[in-house]
Amino acid sequence: MHSELVAPRSADPRDSQDTRESRPGSRTDSRNGAPHLDAVSLAIIEQLQEDGRRPYAAIGKAVGLSEAAVRQRVQKLLDQGVMQIVAVTDPLTVGFRRQAMVGVNVEGDVETVADALSAMSECEYVVMTAGSFDLMVEIVCEDDDHLLEVINKRIRAVPGVRSTESFVYLKLKKQTYMWGTR
């Protein structure tokens, strides 16, 4: 259960004449409930990716819509879970000085293990993968002791975890939140 046949949206800023067609997110047409987004909603998201607090009127001016229309669309996008507007921080600044990516190999049901790891607050990011790891997990810790405890005590203790391999972060070079825009 993946893959879908949604028409790929044009991410080209030039074609704005097709702007006034096709409802924004009417049909939830992909099986995971993800609605298809039109160019205007994409443009709104793009605005909010630059500044999550940008006023609706300013966004409306940028995308060619009234303030109220932008407000309604944003509310719908939030309600649908298509996007969320949040503060993101640099972990180092906030007191978490050790991060690592951990590759996990599983015996038995991978999703069960994934759920168990997702329940741990130190696991920031959990994804099931194809390749030499079944799971990749990003963990965020306060110091080396904390990191050691999480990896060697908590993660390895989860039933079904066969082995792990750790990649301690030395330096974060890039991190964007520009999905859907370039």
Which stretch in 70-78, 94-102, 126-134, 165-173 sits in contact with DNA by CB under 7 A? 70-78
DSSP at 139:
E
Dihedral sign, CA of 41, 88, 149, 171? positive
Which residue, 71 or 97, has its beta carbon nearer to DNA?
71
Which residue, 60 or 117, has its beta carbon nearer to DNA?
60
Among residues 84, 65, 66, the alpha carbon closest in space to that of 20 is found at 65
Scan residues 11-30 and list those touching DNA (CB under 7 A).
23-26
Which member of 29, 48, 67, 91 binds DNA (CB under 7 A)? 67
- CA–CA distance, 154 with 70 (Å, rounded to integer): 45
Scan residues 94-133 and list those touching DNA (CB under 7 A).
none
The answer to whether the beta carbons of residues 136 and 127 sit under 8 Å apart is yes
Contact flag: residue 12 with its own copies (CB under 8 A): no
Rounded alpha-carbon distances, angstroms, from residue 110 to 71, 129, 182: 41, 10, 33
Which residue, 107 or 167, has its beta carbon nearer to its own copies?
167
Which member of 57, 68, 109, 167 binds its own copies (CB under 8 A)? 167
Contact flag: residue 48 with DNA (CB under 7 A): no
In the list its own copies, DNA, none, the entry touching 90 (Cβ below 5 to 8 angstroms by class) is: its own copies
The answer to whether the beta carbons of residues 134 and 128 sit under 8 Å apart is yes
Token digits of residue 94: 């906030």
Which residue, 68 or 119, has its beta carbon nearer to DNA?
68
